[in-house]
Structures are given as C-alpha cells and as structure tokens.
Chains A and B, each alone.
Chain A
Amino acid sequence: MVEELKGAIALVGYGLAAIGPGIGIGLVVASAIEAMARQPETADVTRTTMFLGIAFTEALALIGFVLFFIA
C-alpha cells in the first residue's frame, strides 16, 4: 500500500515538474518563430539559439524525471 502510494506521488511530481518547462519551451519557440518571420536572413543563428534555449529550459523537467526514478 505504502509502496504504491510512493510511486503515484513520484508520477504526480514528475507531472508538476513538466509544467514549467513546458510553458518555457513554448515561449522560447514562439519568440524564435517570431524572430525568424521578422528577419528570415538571420534564421540560422536564431535556430541554433532556439535549440540552446530549449536545452537549458528542458533541464528542469529532466531533474524531475531523475527524481521520479530515485523516489
């Protein structure tokens, strides 16, 4: 009983940890698309920077993913 409860809480925790980065990645990509639409000639630089921004934002969700396994 206690074991099952523990697993369920870890799942909920990972779900919560995914909310913030989800919104964050949405903001990053939205701004990148806007920048690319305004200045298509800088699209290459924008794309690289966008992936960097996504990677850093995603780190928070990954910490939640690790905690899900540790819990």
Chain B
Amino acid sequence: MDGLILATSECDPSSDVVICAPDDVNKLFEFTDPLFSIGPFDFTRTVLLIFIAMTIILVSLWVGLRRTQLVPTKFGMAIESLLTFVRNDIARGIIGPEGDKYFPWLASLFMFVLVANAFEVTPFINFPLTSRMGLPLTLSLLTYVIFVFVGFKTNGISYLTGIIWPRSVPLVLRPLVGLIEFVSVFILRPITLAVRLFANLVAGHLMLTLLLVSGVVFISNIGSIGVKAVWGFAWFAVGMGIFLFEIVVIVLQAFIFTLLSAVYVETSLHAEH
C-alpha cells in the first residue's frame, strides 16, 4: 500500500501528464523501514510477507491433510490434487520413477512460489514477493546446489567431463561445444531460472500499479480536470484486463519454475554418456 499511496500523492492529474509514474520505480518495490523488530531481526514488509506465506502453506497443508479419509473434504481434495499434480506431472513426469525422492522439495518450491506470486493480486497486499531479486535467486541457488550435487553423486567426475568434453560431438567442434555447454549449465542456468521469475513479476507489478493508480487518480479528479478523466477510464479498463492476465502468469511462472528445477535435476541424473 505504501507504493500506491506514494504514487497517488505524487501524481498531479491537472498537469500535462496522461499517466502517473513515480520518479523512481524502485520505490514501488523497496520497503526498508522495519515494521517491528524481534531481537536483532528487523521485520520489514517483505520479510513479514514471507512469514505469512509460510504460515498460509503450513496451515492449509495441515487443515487439508490432517485426516486422510476415503472421501476427503473439499479443501482436502484441492490440496491433494495440487500435490498429485506436482507428483505426477512434474516429479514422475519429468524425472521418472526416481522422481518421488525429489517430490517434497518440488512441492515446497511450487507452493511457496505460487503463494509468493499470488500476493501480487491479493487485495490489500498487492506486492509479489518474488519481485525482489533476493527470493528467486535464493530458490534458484538451492536448485543449483541440488542439481550439481546430484550430478556428481550419480555420475562422479564424468558429469563434469561429459559437459566440457562431449564425446558425441566431432573432435573439431568439441572445445567450442564444451565451452558453450559449460557456460550454459553452470552459469546461465541459475541466473535465467531466477531472472525469469523475477522479470515476469516485476513487469506485472509495475503494469498493475501504474495503470490502476493512474485510473483511480484520474477518475477521482473528474471534477477538476473534466474530459481528461477519459484517460482514467482507459487506464483502469486496461489495468483490469492485465489483472486477469497476471493471474494466469502467476500460476504459469510457479509451474515453470518447478518444471525447470525438475528438468535440471533430470539432466544431472541421466547425463549423456
């Protein structure tokens, strides 16, 4: 809400502007003032929301799965189908039969990213946690550690040599392909995994904030600016359209993040040669 209030108070619809934009967009993402502190730990809005996301997941899992029965409750059914989807489509579908070993990690990843993304369109929160680079980066580094560890554990040192000296490639091209593969596996993979999630949510949050705030500001000042308030209706309509689109993006990005984590582990498990 801080970002919204800030943008609203800074925007003057009677001037030449047709859309409200804060002079520094970082203000929409950075909440540095601690809300409260426990001991040496400051709880800013972002940190508090991370704990709220964790609580939501734990409580819904506990409520949904505390009693497994033949005919589950509606909520239990929803949680079960979510977990079944992750197990069948992601863990077993991508990694194969040994995917069950990675199911708890994939399910935690999926649910946390889903809830953290969903804060973007939650009323009164309106802030996607994953639009701060720290969170997706941490999650993708966790994936990185896991898939590198799994690769060395199952294939030994041939995991590394298979990447930098691929035997299926003609000898002339081997150094070049090896270099490209090395950079793409060990450097680009974790970066793109994190940036994909981050960029999508940053773009979504920016579009929603700018369009909806501009719409509200222009429409509420209809008395003083007259016919120029038409801009407000246009921005608001576009904003509502993007709101629906963002709901799709939220679920899709959580799915893709988990899917790619599973794919990376799979390529480490079944490394070529």
Contact = CB atoms under 8 A, between A and B. Distances in A.
A65 B256 contact: no
Interface string A19-43: 0000000000000000000000000
A62 B196 contact: yes
Contacts of A48: 89, 93-94, 259
B259 A55 contact: yes
B259 A62 contact: no
B188 interface: yes
B238 interface: no
B259 A63 contact: no
Interface string B235-273: 000000000000000001001100110010000000000
Contacts of B260: 52, 55
Interface string A42-55: 00100010011011
Given A62-B199, A65-B199, A52 B259 contact: yes
A58 to B, nearest CB: 6
A66 interface: yes
A55 B196 contact: yes
B18 interface: no
A58 B199 CA distance: 11
A62 B89 contact: no
Interface in B179-196: 188, 191-192, 195-196
A61 to B, nearest CB: 9
Interface in B120-154: none
Interface residues of A, number: 12
A51 B199 CA distance: 17
Interface residues of B, number: 15
Contacts of B252: 51
A62 B93 contact: no
A8 interface: no
A63 B263 contact: no
Given A48-B89, A48-B93, A59-B188, A65 B259 contact: no
B255 A51 contact: yes
Given A48-B89, A55-B260, A62 B192 contact: yes
Nearest to A54: B256
Contacts of A51: 252, 255-256, 259
B89 A65 contact: no
A65 B93 contact: no
B196 A52 contact: no
29 contacts: A44-B89, A48-B89, A48-B93, A48-B94, A48-B259, A51-B255, A51-B256, A51-B259, A52-B259, A52-B260, A52-B263, A54-B256, A55-B196, A55-B256, A55-B260, A58-B196, A59-B188, A59-B192, A59-B196, A62-B192, A62-B195, A62-B196, A62-B199, A63-B188, A63-B192, A65-B195, A65-B199, A66-B191, A66-B195
Interface of A: 44, 48, 51-52, 54-55, 58-59, 62-63, 65-66
The 7 closest A-B pairs by CB, nearest first: A59-B192, A62-B195, A65-B199, A55-B256, A62-B196, A62-B192, A62-B199
Given A48-B93, A59-B192, 5 more contacts: A59-B188, A62-B192, A63-B192, A65-B195, A66-B191
